[in-house]
Chain A
Amino acid sequence: MSKRTVQFKIYRYDPDKDEKPYMQDISVELEASDKKLLDALVRLKVKDDSLSFRRSCREGVCGSDAMNINGKNGLACLTEVDSLPQPITLRPLPGLPVVRDLIVDMTQFFKQYHSIKPYLINNDPPPERERLQTPEDREELNGLYECILCACCSTSCPSFWWNPDKFVGPAGLLAAYRFIADTRDQATNDRLDNLEDPYRLFRCHTIMNCVDVCPKSLNPTRAIGKIKDMMLRRAV
């Protein structure tokens, strides 16, 4: 790809000076080496240093640069800019309060993550060496532990939009199942109790937006289904 000019429509809001948010039309010339949407955003920021967004690793592992790209949540650093119809419309992740431009307040998202006790619980005295786990048991964690907490999933979920304070959301539930599925964890019953409520788990209506948007190709819906199965089996 050579030099080309790309058109954007970007959600802008600076509470320090703007009465209300607006959509800014702006274009930028990209160099041949600019391949990802994040490269374009960095170019845009050279042009207008007031454009605000989070970014760090630029390789899809830190989870900073999640945003709503042409209506769909994704990571700017993993999105090919040339694959996007123009003008490329960028908005902050939906459903969370906007702090400024593309930056949202993620407090509620992390509150839900923390609510599932996202740490291994094992009350046996720690052995001198590692706890043993078969390769097969370890494989149960694949597709669960890789989550980068970018919030693409939870903020694409209508159930989370309606009840962000009560529904744990796909990211938190994926993490809950990551510990339930870990043979070293001893708190499965407590973890299920913690989700036994009309909202926390059961507000998932398998809409599957989470699966559709996950930049790491994870499947929170399947993890949620497994937790629901365990709940049911436990009940009978």
Chain B
Amino acid sequence: MKVAKRTFDAVIVGAGGAGLRAALQLSEAGMKTAVLTKVFPTRSHTVAAQGGVAASLGNSTEDNWHWHMYDTVKGSDWLGDQDAIEFMCRKANEVVVELEHYGMPFDRTDDGKIYQRPFGGHSMNYGQAPVMRSCAAADRTGHAMLHALYQRNVRANTQFFVEWMALDLIRNSDGDVLGVTALEMETGEISIFHSRATIFATGGAGRIYYSSTNAFINTGDGVGMAARSGIPLEDMEFWQFHPTGVAGAGVLITEGVRGEGGILRNDAGERFMERYAPNLKDLASRDVVSRAMTTEINEGRGCGPDKDHVLLDITHLSPETILKRLPGIREISIQFAGVDPIKAPIPVVPTCHYQMGGIPTNYRGQVVIPKDGDVNSAVVGFYAAGECACASVHGANRLGTNSLLDLLVFGKSAGETVVEDFRTGALALKPLPEDAADVSLARIARLEGQKDGENVHEVRLDMQRTMQKHAGVFRFDNLLKEGAELIKGVAARAASTEIGDKSQVWNTARVEALELDNLIEVAKATMISAEARKESRGAHVRDDAPDTPEHPNGRNDEEWLKHTLWYSADNRLEYKPVNLKPLSPNVEPIALAKRTY
């Protein structure tokens, strides 16, 4: 097969919030940039974010970034790096105000400022009471944000390669990153994108689970590509289960519903969160709420004929509030749950939502790996931002509204770092190895010629069911052990998938098979990292690490206050320290403490 070669100053893979924000920095700096995206930019999954983006603007209640930083560190169960968290919280106002200037249609307060609502785990004065920190455009914040970012890129003349799927990362013998190979979906042709800098902004991989709020496209492409090329993945055992996915359908119901006053109830109509989180109640952190719901269901207090969900009740809110602040939720609820939330509560269950781990980066967006005695050595030419990256600001559990903030802050930061490195001449266009496209061509050729192979749909389904059963909201030692073996078996089958469709034109069967190669890397990383972490922390809670006086909440800082690094080649695990020191010398570290809400 003939492989075309294209050369750019920078290649960005992914055109969701992080990719588009990074692209703006590069386009406005005049760098020759290619943005590759397997869907038209406004179809990226950022579009589905609902409730808001965090920034301590203080428009409705007093607020400051120190409180936001405290909430984020506590939310992360102290696994987040405090330098990156300080950086993110301090930058929040700047990046949100910028978006307003780009035209994002935020809701407004009576005095014309950006409207803010309360959200889970966000508090004033270090945990005392809920704070209004989530900047919102009704319950369509992600849509409003993604479109505003795309529109700004239209203005900046950013060059997009729409419906191009990146296949593999190109590294030379020194390990430097030289670009990617990519498949043009319309023609089936493979190209090399040779570049000085490569930014991954490919989103998460929520589709490794059977029940997920994530879109079909969330297949962890960047994470899979990085893993296959030898980059370790960080903290992959930590997955967020959002408390309120529509029961059965998985579609997201924003936490903003509880921010506006929504209440979770069990079959007795009890507001059960009062028992689990007496202070913040329904607005406790997501991992806490998801576990409480699962406990209610497991103990027989679930709702419906199968007692398999709980109810999210907003019938006490005025219809005007619902129509004004939560119009999209009402549509979703009618469409996917068959209930009008003005009249009846919404059936909800915890649903896989967000990947806290990912490609290890620092707060400047550089990908960092252990090398020559330095655990955070920057990979030359490689950057990442957004859900595919692990900065790490979310640690063991992300707070709602911090994902949109993450992609803005670190999308911009990665872009700024690339522009700076470009201007100082630190980014060379290094010669491509002869075999730059060989790995990708071999993958395509294998699919083309595979006989008596595995069915893509069945392998994917087995992976999803295995993840759901063995690495869910609560985790069990025996299930994790068994799961690690099972997922290796599924991975072996994924290596011999076969497709019926052999067309070169828009071959979605081929795309799905290639996506499965990425999903399976993420699934292995998750299961193997989770099996090994013998403590409970944030979203990772095990039966054999219960709450004891010695280890509150089952957390074991002496042994496990460290980041996991998983290597694909041999399923090896390494660990690196958590950075407990903020970025600025005059900022006090947030001291370790038991996490309660």
Contact = CB atoms under 8 A, between A and B. Distances in A.
B508 interface: yes
Given A55-B216, A63-B42, A135-B107, 9 more contacts: A57-B43, A59-B335, A61-B48, A64-B39, A100-B503, A110-B40, A119-B154, A119-B155, A131-B101
Contacts of A6: none
Contact of A62 (B48, B140, B335): B48
A42 B371 CA distance: 44
B330 to A, nearest CB: 12
A122 B104 CA distance: 13
B42 A103 contact: no
Contacts of A48: 500
21 contacts: A33-B248, A46-B457, A49-B512, A59-B251, A62-B44, A62-B48, A64-B40, A99-B186, A106-B40, A117-B155, A119-B155, A122-B101, A126-B98, A130-B97, A130-B100, A130-B114, A135-B107, A135-B110, A138-B105, A141-B105, A145-B137
A: interface residue count bin: 35 or more
A72 interface: no
A130 B336 contact: no
Interface in B492-513: 499-501, 503-509, 512
A57 B48 contact: yes
Nearest to A59: B251
A114 interface: yes
A33 B106 CA distance: 36
B151 A120 contact: yes
Contacts of B429: none
Q: Which secondary structure dominates chain A's binding surface? A: loop
A52 interface: yes
B42 A14 contact: no
B45 interface: yes
A119 B107 contact: no
B43 A62 contact: yes
A56 B147 contact: no
A20 interface: no
Contacts of A122: 101
Contact of B217 (A56, A114, A132, A149): A56
Most chain A beta-carbon contacts within 10 A, residue among B151, B217, B507: B151
Contacts of B457: 45-46, 49
A148 B144 CA distance: 10
B139 to A, nearest CB: 11
Contacts of A58: 215-216, 251
A46 B148 CA distance: 36
B102 A132 contact: no
A14 B216 contact: no
A158 interface: no
